[in-house]
Structure 1
């Protein structure tokens, strides 16, 4: 099972890897609902080519991604293919699925 620090570290890493050049024209909020012992809620707001990460729920997310802590860590670390995780139900997406597909381009 993933530890809380591991999930927190993954989100800090994602924030550091944000590719502003890939975010042109994107004004959106990603909500991440991570379940399991190391889970919690995080959100990333992209606006004007900048990304701001916060712990907690977003008021009006454009897309919500739900995953088990262990699966999310594996996706971000490249050990689990996000498309396969989606197709097998390991991650669930609510809202703008097209935007969810850009997650790797923006943050990974």
Structure 2
């Protein structure tokens, strides 16, 4: 597992301390994937309701508040495959 994935798991854990009442996967291009669900946050590549794909730079920006997830999606920096409802719930958590 890459150090970027390790840092991403840590960053997401801080944002969703109580878990997430859905299932989502973040794919960080060229690095790996992170699963977020009711059990918490972990590196993994299981099937989820929604998959969000972004570069490491875009993901880091979303975690530190410099990149708005909705704007990243609108500008093509964030790709969403699956449930838009789950993606919207996740966007509200990420800010």
TM over 0.5: yes
The match for 1:35 is 29
Q: Which protein has the bigger helix share?
A: 2
The match for 1:45 is 37
* Contact 1:31-1:61 at 8 Å conserved across structures: yes
The match for 2:9 is 11
Task: State the secondary structure of the residue aligned to 1:101.
Answer: helix
Q: Which protein has the bigger strand share?
A: 1
The match for 2:63 is 76
TM-score, normalised relative to structure 2: 0.81
Query: Displacement, 1:97?
Result: 1.0
The match for 1:56 is 44
Gaps of 5+ in 2: none
TM-score, normalised relative to structure 1: 0.73
Instruction: Kindly report the root-mean-square deviation, in angstroms, between the aligned alpha carbons of the 2 structures.
Output: 2.2
- The alignment of Structure 1 onto Structure 2 pairs a total of residues equal to 94
Q: Which has the higher contact order (CA 8 A, sep 6+)?
A: 1
Query: Displacement, 1:6?
Result: 4.3
Gaps of 5+ in 1: none
Query: Displacement, 1:18?
Result: 1.6
Task: State the secondary structure of the residue aligned to 2:23.
Answer: strand
Which entry has the higher C-alpha Rg, 1 or 2? Answer: 1
